[in-house]
Every structure is written in C-alpha cells, then in structure tokens.
C-alpha cells in the first residue's frame, strides 16, 4: 500500500540588498548588537567604554556577523535620559572605526532620531534601524538621503522608551497579527514614498515592544504573514522577555529559547536576525536554511561512493 507524500511548500522571502550584498533564504543575515550603553537589559551587550565596544565589534565579525547594529540608548524606560548629542557622541566613533576596519560589513544605526542618523552620514551607514515605528517622521527621509535602508517597526503606537502596560489588540486572538501587518504595510509604503528602494526596506514585527508575551508568541507563529508583505523580514528575538517569561528564565539564561525562536522564524521565512550571540545564531540560521533546501551543505560525502 502506497502512502501519498505531499510537496513541501515554503514561503520564499524577498531579498535584502545592502552594500552590494544580497541576503535571502539561502544567505540569511545575522545582525550583531553593539550597545554603547551601561544599562542594556542584557549584561553581555553593555559596552559604554569605547574599547569594549570595539572588542565586541571584532568578535562579532569574527563569529560571522553580516550586519553590526550600533545603538546608544536603552530601549526601555529604565535607565538614564540620553540626549541626541549624547547619542551621537556614543555611536559615531564606533561607526567610523567600524567602517575603517571592516569596509564590507553592513553598518546599522539603531536610532529613532533623524538628527542622529544625519550626523552618522560620514560613517557610511547602510541601514537605519528605527525601533520606534516612525516616531520621528523625518527619519525615513534622512535614510533615503543617505542611500541607506530602513527598518520599519511596530510598537503599538507607543513612543520611544515606553514599556508596555495593559496592552490589548481586542478580543480576536489574531488582532495583534492584523495590527502588525497593517502597520508594517503602511510604514513600508511611507519608506517607498520617501525614496527608499524596496530591497532596502526591512519590516520588523518588533516582539516585546507594545506587546505581551502572548502577543509576541502569536506573531512568531505568524512570521510567514509578515513575510507575505513582500519585504525582507527582521526578527529580533534574542534573549527578549517573551522568551524569559515562556521559560521563566533571566536574560542571562535565555540562549536556548532564543535559538529555538530563531529557528522557527527562519523556517517561516524571516531572513535577518538581530542577536546577542552571533556564532550560535549564525549556525542556527544556516542550518535552518540548509534544512529548507535554500543552502547547500558545506560537505556532502556521507554515504556517497568514492573511488579508491
């Protein structure tokens, strides 16, 4: 008796093109995190000291990072206020040194402020990571002026450095998915209207931001719906609270949960992964790409006949 075997249908994501490099299902990108702060939620990404930031940069590149995301302000409301001038002083020296040391690495600036992005122009920034969903309406235009890509995000309407409280997207379990997809579609259209080419627009469902753990888990399951928008998808899951609450673990203990979430997102079509743990994430997304059939194994000798 024969049993039918169905063809496997996988979502094929749109490519991301930055600095002449193409990232897609066969070549997923790992975005390393270098925070010029001393109050980031994960102790391993605190690099307030310039030399510490440079060591983190070198290590990230050595471990396989394609993109280095440099930020100068903690995302949450805890921690010190940081002015635009202070943020520039924190990020610009790292970006300039990174560009000089690694001319082929894609440089990303994690900011919601247009004046910070404009000040970073001499460093040759390739991507503006706007985690706060266009709070500064001029930012996307500055990204276009720089010839950079832009990350379009979703925060549920919250302003920068706001932690979510009593968040609701209505009684529909898929309400958060519908809101995220609609918001990201509008953000991508605004980026296109500002002059950013589609292959430089990344959409990010922005897990944890303006969301409960249940919302973030629902969005992770529906990564393919975000991919269906037709833009490359960034998933930033690394050591986040939805992982910690799912497993009841502190940030320092969330590596395995983060990698599991990363693998699910990669299988469902995300192609860029913001990560604290570069080597482990690199191996995870490359393995998923190989299982999907988008990336060939580096070796294929097991069970293959070889002439003596």
Residue 66: pLDDT above 70?
A: yes
**What is the tens place of the pLDDT at every residue in 122-133?**
999 999 999 999
Q: How confident is the model at residue 91 (pLDDT cuts 50, 70, 90)?
A: very high
Residue 44: pLDDT above 70?
A: no
Q: Is 26 within 8 Å of 63 (Cβ atoms)?
A: no
Determine the Cα–Cα distance for residues 179 and 157; give it in Å rounded to an integer: 11
Average pLDDT of span 22-37: 96
**What is the tens place of the pLDDT at every residue in 226-251?**
999 999 999 999 999 999 999 999 99
Q: How confident is the model at residue 46 (pLDDT cuts 50, 70, 90)?
A: low
Ramachandran angles phi, psi of 62, nearest 5° = -60, -30
Determine the Cα–Cα distance for residues 141 and 125; give it in Å rounded to an integer: 14
Q: Is 234 within 8 Å of 106 (Cβ atoms)?
A: no
Neighbours of 62 (CB within 10 A): 10
Residue spans of the domains in the chain: they are 21-292
Please tell me what DSSP assigns to residue 5. Answer: -
Bridge partners of residue 21, in order along the sequence:
18
Determine the Cα–Cα distance for residues 93 and 53; give it in Å rounded to an integer: 10
DSSP characters over 33-54:
EEE--S--SSGGGB--SHHHHH
Mean pLDDT of the chain, nearest integer? 94
Q: How confident is the model at residue 85 (pLDDT cuts 50, 70, 90)?
A: very high
Residue 43: pLDDT above 70?
A: no
Average pLDDT of span 85-103: 96
**What is the tens place of the pLDDT at every residue in 194-204?**
999 999 999 99
Instruction: With both helix axes pointing from N to C terminus, report the angle between 139-146 and 175-194 in degrees, rounded to the nearest 10.
Output: 50
Neighbours of 147 (CB within 10 A): 14
- The CATH homologous superfamily for domain 21-292 is Dihydropteroate synthase-like (3.20.20.20)
**What is the tens place of the pLDDT at every residue in 141-169?**
999 999 999 999 999 999 999 989 999 99
């Amino acid at each position: 008796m024969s049993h039918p075997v169905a063809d496997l249908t996988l979502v094929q994501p749109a490519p991301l093109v930055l600095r002449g490099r193409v990232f897609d299902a066969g070549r997923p990108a790992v975005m390393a995190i270098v925070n010029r702060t001393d109050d980031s939620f994960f102790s391993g990404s605190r690099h307030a000291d310039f030399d510490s930031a440079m060591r983190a940069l070198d290590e990230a590149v050595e471990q396989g990072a394609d993109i280095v995301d440099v930020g100068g302000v903690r995302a949450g409301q805890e921690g010190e206020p940081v002015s635009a001038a202070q943020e520039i002083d924190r990020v610009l020296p790292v970006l300039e040194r990174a560009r000089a040391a690694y001319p082929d690495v894609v440089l990303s600036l994690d900011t919601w402020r247009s004046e910070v992005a404009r000040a970073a122009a001499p460093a040759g920034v390739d991507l503006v990571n706007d985690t706060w969903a266009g709070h500064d309406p001029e930012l996307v235009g500055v990204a276009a002026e720089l010839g950079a890509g832009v990350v379009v995000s979703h925060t549920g309407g919250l302003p920068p450095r706001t932690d979510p409280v009593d968040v609701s997207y209505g009684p529909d379990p898929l309400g958060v998915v519908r809101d995220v997809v609609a918001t990201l579609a509008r953000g991508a259209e605004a980026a296109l209207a500002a002059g950013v080419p589609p292959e430089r627009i990344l959409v990010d469902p922005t897990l944890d931001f303006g969301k409960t753990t249940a919302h973030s888990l629902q969005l992770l399951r529906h990564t393919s719906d975000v991919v269906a928008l037709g833009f490359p998808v960034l998933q930033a899951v690394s050591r986040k609270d939805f992982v910690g609450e799912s497993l009841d673990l502190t940030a320092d203990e969330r590596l395995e949960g983060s990698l599991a979430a990363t693998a699910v997102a990669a299988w469902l079509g995300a192609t860029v992964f913001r990560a604290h743990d570069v080597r482990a994430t690199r191996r995870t997304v490359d393995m998923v790409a190989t299982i999907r059939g988008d990336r060939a194994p580096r070796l294929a000798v097991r069970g293959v006949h070889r002439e003596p």
